C-alpha cells in the first residue's frame, strides 16, 4: 500500500495522476484501464477541490492498493471536508435532451461506470471514497 497527501486543489490533479500512473506502470496495467482510472482521478479530485472544503482548502490523501492474485487495483480518496456520500446522488437522466438536463452529475456517473466498485464511508470526521478496478 502506498499513499500520497497533497492540498486538495485542481493544480495537484496532475501530480496525483502521475503518482498513480507510476504504480499502474509497475503492475503492467493495460492502457485502457489506466486511462479509465485517470478519468476517475480527475473527476473525484476536482469534486474534492471544488466542494469538500469550500471556501477553504484542505488536504486529500490518495491511497493505492493492489491485490495481485485478483488483479484488483484499489484507490481511496480520504479528506476531512464536508460529509458527502456520492452513493446517495441520483443517477442523471442521460436520455433527455441535453438542453433539458441540469448541469453537473455526469462526473460521478462516469466514475461509477468506469470502475468495478465504488464505496463511501464517513469515519473519524473523514470522507473515504474507494474505487476498485480489475486490471
The answer, yes or no, to whether residue 75 has pLDDT greater than 80, is: yes
> Which residues span the domain enclosing 16?
2-134
The dihedrals phi and psi of 61, each to the nearest 5 degrees, come to -105, 135
Per-residue pLDDT tens over the stretch 14-29:
999 999 999 999 999 9
Q: Report the candidate in 118, 113, 126 with the shortest Cα–Cα distance to residue 39.
A: 113
Q: Is the backbone peptide bond immediately before 55 cis, with ω within 30 degrees of 0?
A: yes
The answer, yes or no, to whether residue 127 has pLDDT greater than 80, is: yes
DSSP H helices, 7-123, are 13-26, 31-47, 106-114
pLDDT value at residue 38: 97
Under 8 Å CB-to-CB from 25, ≥6 apart: which residues? none
Look up residue 123 and give its three cell numbers. 469515519
CATH of the domain at 117: 3.30.565.10
Q: Which has more pLDDT, 82 or 98? A: 82
Domain count, the chain: 1
The SS3 call for residue 131 is: strand
Percentage with pLDDT > 70 across the chain: 87
Amino acid at each position: 500500500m502506498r499513499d500520497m497527501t497533497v492540498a486538495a486543489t485542481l493544480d495537484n490533479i496532475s501530480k496525483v495522476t502521475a503518482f498513480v500512473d507510476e504504480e499502474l506502470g509497475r503492475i503492467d496495467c493495460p492502457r485502457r484501464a489506466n486511462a479509465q482510472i485517470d478519468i476517475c482521478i480527475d473527476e473525484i479530485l476536482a469534486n474534492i477541490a471544488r466542494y469538500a472544503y469550500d471556501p477553504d482548502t484542505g488536504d486529500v490523501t490518495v491511497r493505492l492498493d493492489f491485490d495481485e492474485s485478483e488483479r484488483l487495483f484499489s484507490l481511496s480518496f480520504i479528506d476531512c471536508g464536508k460529509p458527502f456520500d456520492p452513493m446517495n446522488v441520483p443517477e442523471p437522466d442521460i436520455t433527455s435532451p441535453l438542453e433539458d438536463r441540469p448541469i453537473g452529475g455526469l462526473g460521478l456517473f462516469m466514475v461509477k461506470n468506469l470502475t468495478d466498485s465504488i464505496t463511501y464511508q464517513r469515519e473519524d470526521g473523514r470522507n473515504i471514497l474507494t474505487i476498485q478496478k480489475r486490471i
